[in-house]
């Protein structure tokens, strides 16, 4: 978990590109976390962004 959104975004983008699976950046209790999208299920979190490794746009 990170309290820095830009750092969390950068790590999420890199994780998606490394694993080659969509990952979700989420917020819970003022901190940001990242999980592969298929593992997030119905957790009580606020989804900030989903990073798709096949999408050609930059992370920020």
pLDDT tens profile 6-19: 999 999 999 999 99
CA distances from 47 to 17, 35, 43, 55 (A): 19, 11, 10, 18
pTM higher than 0.85: no
Structure confidence by residue, pLDDT tens digits, 21-53: 999 999 999 999 999 999 988 778 899 999 999
Burial class (CB in 10 A: 0-12, 13-18, 19+), 51: buried
Nearest-Å Rg of the Cα atoms of the chain is 11
């Amino acid at each position: 978990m990170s309290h820095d959104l830009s750092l969390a975004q950068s790590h999420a983008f890199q994780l998606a590109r490394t694993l080659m699976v969509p990952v979700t950046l989420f917020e819970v209790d003022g901190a940001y976390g990242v999980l592969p999208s298929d593992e997030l299920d119905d957790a009580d979190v606020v989804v900030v962004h989903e990073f798709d490794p096949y999408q050609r746009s930059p992370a920020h």
